[in-house]
Structure 1
């Protein structure tokens, strides 16, 4: 229960990795503010958090909107009695050749994956400073933030941006005792990878499932990643054992990309 007495806000908490992170932090003792654009999904996860014996509150927000992200942080503090940990997990994938990508597609993925992290850092940083707390800000990056992948060029660019934002925020907030780190998963068996595989099949003509298998076959540990694999690492970043770590974006991918 290394997070006992802490309040954590998780964006994109309605499913997949976000849900797993919320539940893991709850198991570790934190009360959880669940933020997502889908109200029904976060209410279901909130019930799971409560079943673990922790407090939960929900807030519907579009993370690309600064006012909504700021409101979600205020909601977390007012409903759970504090604020300690921000997990900027929400994100979307975009699959297209760079020669074919459309302006509206670029805008959407940049707004959510990059602006969403900026607004999360800003809202959480201001709140932690106001509370005079040595808190944690944790951002969703990816192996695609360490290596650009074909047909994932714009998505990869957003994740490279998250690494830069993480480093810059860590330097700006260190004097306030606020650490900023990212987590970089690989091939996680979630709906996002179902979408990646489907779109890859449409673009390349490969059978559905072939792209997913190709990537999984390249993982040294011999299996796809689970949301719980990611959540365990985020729990470390959120906990006291990571107090001396900031500005870092480590990969947790089972041995797929090496840097």
Structure 2
């Protein structure tokens, strides 16, 4: 006899920022495969349109919204759109982020402002928008009202040379995650973060190119150097990260909050 298995995220509505490529795309697709309906948010409408087609093929509902996460009003509008279009709101994945590679002594105010606005402010606005929507939709005492999942990094556990300000933003995400978890636990809202390592994405291509410019290394050499330190012996994929995020979004993680889990194949140990 064949056993029917209910997808763990069936009847769940999730929103993913930075969903147009890389880790964000991987997260959105994995959430859909686990039964969630997914709202895709990105600054590129073309990118999320392509991901929306992939989700439609999986069989989940999806909706798209173009937004810049550094703009608080746009993040709130994205959450409102997701809840209206998909009939609810359960999970917020604050994934959008950018990197900055270079010596600390060469960082400009403009560099830092842009990095901070996306990597930290964007997460803060996402937390605020999600909590506001969870409250609006109401809750049942003793039950989980909603889940917020933030993008940190191994660089949020250990500062890396040439990635100083980027590391600072990811440490900041851990701090926001812990504080929000403590503030909103009484409302049944959990707040956790995921901390990837060396992932084969377009962002890492750009990081590698910048290291090549700064150090004279051949393109690809820095990526290989970092990847060689991974205990499991291979670079990370977006799917590796996505599986962990889907776990955090699901019922198996209902008793977990305020944590920033390392999902890096064995690079940083805490």
TM-score calculated relative to the size of structure 2: 0.95
Q: Is 1:87 paired with 2:93?
A: yes
Q: Residue in 2 aligned with 1:119?
A: 125
Per mean C-alpha deviation after superposition, the further-off stretch among 203-212 and 85-94 is 203-212
Residue 211 (structure 2) pairs with residue 205 (structure 1): no
Shift of 1:131: 1.0
Secondary structure at 1:9's aligned position in 2?
strand
User: More displaced, 113-122 or 99-108?
Assistant: 99-108
- SS of the residue corresponding to residue 250 of structure 1 reads strand
CA distance in structure 2 between the aligned counterparts of 1:170 and 1:238, rounded to whole angstroms: 15
- The one of 61, 66, 74 equivalent to 1:68 is 74
Partner residue, 1:238: 249
Looking at structure 2, the residues matched to 144 and 85 of structure 1 have their Cα atoms a distance apart, in angstroms, of 24
Please name the residue that 1:49 is paired with.
55
**1:145-184 alignment to 2 at 5 Å?**
145-184=156-195
Select 1:77's aligned residue among 79, 83, 89: 83
Partner secondary structure for residue 99 of structure 1: helix
1:132 deviates by 1.8
Give distance in 2, aligned partners of 1:205 and 1:152.
Answer: 17
Measure how far apart 1:165 and its partner are: 0.2
Q: For residue 111 of structure 2, what is the aligned residue in structure 1?
A: 105
5+ residue gaps, structure 2:
1-6, 140-144
2:260 alignment partner, SS class: coil
Distance 1:166 1:88 in 2: 11
Distance, in Å, in 2 between the alignment partners of 1:165 and 1:245 is 16
Return the match for 1:188 from 181, 199, 222: 199
Which residue, 12, 18, 32 being the options, matches 2:38? 32
Deviation at 1:185, TM superposition (A): 0.2
Where in structure 1 do 4 or more consecutive aligned residues deviate above 6 Å?
none
